[in-house]
Amino acid sequence: MTHTQSLELSTTLSLRSGDQSWGTERRMALLAAIGTEGSISAAARKVGLSYKAAWDAVDMMNNLAGGLLVERVTGGKRGGGAHLTQRARELIAWYQAAQAEHQRFMEALSRFGPDGTRHLDLLHSMALQTSARNRYEGIIGAIESGRINDRIRLDLGQDTCLIATLTHASTERLGLSKGRRALAFLKAQAVRILPEDSGEPDTVPEGLNRWTGRIGHRADDGTLTEITLDVSPTVRITGLADPNAPDGKLPPGAMAVACFQATDVLIGTID
Residues linked to residue 268 through DSSP beta bridges, in sequence order: 183
pLDDT band at 19 (very low <50, low <70, confident <90, very high): low
* pLDDT tops 60 at residue 196: yes
Q: Determine the pLDDT at residue 2.
A: 40
| pLDDT of amino acid 271 | 57
Confidence of residue 8 (pLDDT cuts 50, 70, 90): very low
Identify which has the larger pLDDT, 35 or 132.
35
Which residue type occupies 43? A
CATH fold, domain 188-264, is: OB fold (Dihydrolipoamide Acetyltransferase, E2P) (2.40.50)
Q: What is the pLDDT of residues 225-260, one digit of tens each?
A: 899 999 998 899 999 986 666 656 788 899 999 999
- Number of other CB atoms surrounding residue 260 within 10 Å: 23
131-185 and 16-123 share a CATH fold? no
Confidence of residue 16 (pLDDT cuts 50, 70, 90): low
SS3 sequence of 159-185: CEEEEEEEEHHHHHHHCCCCCCEEEEE
**pLDDT tens per residue, range 136-194:** 889 999 999 888 899 999 999 888 999 999 998 888 888 889 999 888 989 899 999 99
Count of beta carbons in the 10 Å neighbourhood of residue 107: 12
The domain locations on the chain are 16-123, 131-185, 188-264
Architecture of domain 16-123: Orthogonal Bundle (1.10)
Q: Binning pLDDT at 50, 70 and 90, where does residue 34 land?
A: very high
Find out whether 168 and 151 touch, Cβ atoms under 8 Å: no
Backbone angles phi, psi at 242, to 5 degrees: -60, 120
Tens of pLDDT, residues 83-137 = 899 988 988 888 888 877 767 766 665 665 555 555 555 445 544 455 567 888 8
Query: Which pLDDT does position 234 carry in this prediction?
Result: 85
More confident residue, 206 or 18: 206
Q: What span, in angstroms and rounded, lies between the C-alpha atoms of 105 and 99? A: 10
Among candidate residues 214, 152, 206, the one with its CA nearest the CA of residue 182:
152
pLDDT score of 151: 94
Q: What's the CATH fold of domain 131-185?
A: OB fold (Dihydrolipoamide Acetyltransferase, E2P) (2.40.50)
Residue 56 has pLDDT above 60, yes or no: yes
d(CA 259, CA 106): 41
State the pLDDT at residue 62: 81
Question: What is the C-alpha to C-alpha distance for residues 213 and 257, in angstroms, rounded to an integer?
Answer: 6
